Homo-oligomer: A and B are copies of this chain.
C-alpha cells in the first residue's frame, strides 16, 4: 500500500496533526480504474462542500492534480484521500495560519462476493444509533466513532452491511453505504440533514433518476416504511448497487428498479 502526503511519498505524519487530535478533517474513498479516479467530480464537489462547512482551507486544483497522479500510479484499486486542517497547537481553536494536509492512501480492489450484487445482501440491525447534528450531517468527516461502534456489532459474514437508525428511530443509512427504497413506483431515500453521510453514488443515482423521470422523494423514513417497501437497495461509490434481500425476519425479492439502477451504477463505474 502506497501513501503520499502533500504530493510526496510518505508513510507517516506529524503527531500534531489536527486530524488525529480532533478528527478535524474530511475524507473520500475513491475507486480507481485504468489509472483514473471514478466519479471524480462528485468526490471533489462533496469535499469542497465539506471544506466550506468546516471553514477548512483547501486547494482544489492541487487536490485534483495529486489525485490524478496518484490514481495513475495506482492503476487499479481504491484511493483514500484524507484532508486535515494540518498541524495545530494545543486547543481547539484553528490556528490563524492553518495549512490543510493532503493524505493519499492506496489499496487493492475490494474482493466483494459477487452474490452480493446478484442476489442481494442481508442487513444487520445495528443497535448503535446516529446522533442528530445538522452542522455535520451529510459530510464525510473524520469523526466516525459511531460507525466504528456499529461495525463492531457483528462479525459473521452473513451480514454484508448494517442498518443504522438515528436516535429518533428514523432509517438513515448503512454503516458504509446509503439506502434507497421503492414503494409504489416511488424511489425513496432518507433525508440526511440531521445525520448520515451523503454519498456520491447516492447523489449520482438521484441525478440519474431525475434524468429518467423516475419519481423521487428525499424525506424521513420510518422502520415500518422500510419493512413495507417493495424494493430495498444499498449503494456506494465502490460497489455501485446491492439489493437488500433480508433484515431480521423480513425478506425482499430483487425488484426491477433496483436492477435498472444497478446497471446504471455499473456503467458509471465501468467507464
Contact = CB atoms under 8 A, between A and B. Distances in A.
Copies of this chain, complex-wide, total 2
Nearest to A1: B16
A99 interface: no
Interface string A32-60: 00000000000000000000001100000
Interface of A: 1, 3, 5, 10-24, 27, 29, 54-55, 78, 80, 82, 84-85, 89-94, 103, 105, 107, 110, 128-129, 131-133, 135-136, 141-152, 167, 175-176
30 contacts: A5-B15, A11-B14, A13-B15, A15-B82, A18-B148, A20-B103, A21-B142, A21-B144, A23-B23, A23-B142, A24-B148, A29-B90, A54-B149, A78-B90, A80-B90, A89-B107, A91-B151, A91-B176, A92-B144, A92-B148, A92-B150, A92-B151, A92-B175, A94-B152, A131-B131, A131-B136, A133-B146, A133-B167, A135-B149, A143-B143
Contacts of A10: 15
